[in-house]
Amino acid sequence: MPLSNVKNILVGFTEEEERPSSALSYGLSLARDAGAHVTALSASVKLMMAHAIVSEMAAGLVASENKRVRALAEAAAETARQRALSEGVPCTVETVQLHYAELVETFATLCRVHDLSIVDADADLLTVDRSFIEQALFSSGRPVIVVPHGKDTFKADRIMVAWDGSAKAARALNDALPFLQNAKTVELVCVTGEKDLSKAVPGAEIAPHLVRHGIQPSLTELSAKNGDAAETLRNHAVLTRADMIVMGAFVHSRLRQTVFGGVTQSMLKNAPAPLYLSY
């Protein structure tokens, strides 16, 4: 069954470390399967001087670094263009070099006019890739797929849904319906012992909703190992060889929205499979 309702995909990536983007490879692979269009955004941060009065040497160094990074982004964009052409994927390629705040806002704006966005996973909290994840989730109203390094080919035969009965989990599950309908197996996994689930919607109650969409899910309840829900989910995903993990993204409500909650943060640091996230 072909993927439905996935026709316009945004892939955001940086090449400042000269490492190939798994998000780009994954996004082109997904687009080929879905018959979708890809917008590939090769992004780089434009450095700026903190003070109006600086030495010629300092200004020259900044200009030289901006030129170097811009060249990397342009080379990555050309690689994306050639790969899309060779794989027969309709693709629009853009290269942008902007100051940090402008760059992440530009990405968030682009996310809003696509079905979903795809970005590279990054364990570091202070990188452009991590900011792309946050902006895609919290400022776009669209789902995002976060791709771990080395997961270059789209595959979603076995999908694991991290189900805790929350509104965010329900949002992620519904956003992911095109993928769930296309999967061979869908497993709803509920981890107990990490937080109070007494007021949450049980997996058995959401299952009929999926059945009516032509999905036959299995239900699994696991006890959190040492109270760590993320590690329990991660181990189960590895054990079942899940191709994709669907989950709602959580943040610390009393802090800035760009600070992820514990389970989301842990999964982003070390995901065994691409994460399909909604907020």
Predicted confidence (pLDDT) per residue in 148-173, tens digit:
999 999 999 999 999 988 889 999 99
Whether 135 contacts 256, CB under 8 Å: no
Pairwise CA distance, residues 129 & 121, whole Å:
7
pLDDT of residue 98: 92
Pairwise CA distance, residues 25 & 147, whole Å:
10
Q: What strand order describes the sheet that includes 91-98?
A: 91-98, 37-45, 8-14, 116-120, 144-147, 275-278, 244-248, 158-162, 185-192, 218-223
Whether 244 contacts 159, CB under 8 Å: yes
pLDDT of residue 225: 81
> What pTM did the predictor assign?
0.90
pLDDT of residue 254: 43
Pairwise CA distance, residues 4 & 16, whole Å:
34
Pairwise CA distance, residues 119 & 273, whole Å:
13
In order along its 279 residues, the chain shows pLDDT tens digits of 568 789 999 999 987 555 789 999 999 999 999 999 999 999 998 887 666 555 666 777 888 989 998 999 999 999 999 999 999 999 999 999 999 889 989 999 999 999 999 999 976 655 777 788 888 888 899 999 999 999 999 999 999 999 988 889 999 999 999 999 999 999 999 998 766 565 566 788 899 999 999 999 999 999 988 888 999 999 999 999 999 999 998 655 444 444 555 788 889 888 999 999 998
Pairwise CA distance, residues 93 & 183, whole Å:
30
Per-residue pLDDT tens over the stretch 20-57: 899 999 999 999 999 999 999 999 988 876 665 556 66
The pairing of strands 244-248 and 275-278 is parallel
pLDDT of residue 17: 53
Pairwise CA distance, residues 162 & 138, whole Å:
19
Nearest by Cα to 70 from 103, 95, 48: 95
Pairwise CA distance, residues 130 & 30, whole Å:
22
pLDDT of residue 126: 54
Residue ranges of domains in the chain, CATH in brackets: 8-147 (3.40.50.620), 158-278 (3.40.50.620)
> According to DSSP H, which parts of 226-279 are helical?
229-240, 262-269
Whether 2 contacts 35, CB under 8 Å: yes
